[in-house]
Structure 1
Amino acid sequence: MITDEFILSGLILGVLIGAFIGGSIGIAGFFGAVGVSLTVVGGIFGAIIGNRLGIETDKKNIKRKQR
């Protein structure tokens, strides 16, 4: 599926950008705090963005095939 390709490419791009920038962010909650590396955050957001792009592409292809 096209969506899977977008998710994978978004994940890879996000991880590479996060690794290039380096560092981490702190996430604090009611029961403590944890540090998360930007590589992980970049990978998560990259996969989400890739998923959204894949969904939009799939919708366009489905509409085109229905005509």
Structure 2
Amino acid sequence: MLPSITFAVSLYEAEQVMAISGKKKKKKKKKKKKKKKKKKKKKKKKRKINSKVELQEGRKEGNDKILEVVSSR
């Protein structure tokens, strides 16, 4: 036999022995890097300031309540 053929046969036999012993090399899978998606920022809707009077009245009521609690102490 030619030396190249004997070498190939010996490699084949070595693989068979490895398979029997369960030590066959496993190919590692390369992990693909995931690209991060950029989150779009939501624009806040600006409220129209028609309710200014209601807010001020609410604040006045709130302040009165606080004053009552302080005066009761």
Higher RCO structure, 1 or 2 (CA under 8 Å, sep 6+) = 1
TM-score, normalising length from structure 2?
0.33
Task: Specify which structure has the higher proportion of strand.
Answer: 1
TM-score, normalising length from structure 1?
0.36
Which has more radius of gyration? Answer: 2
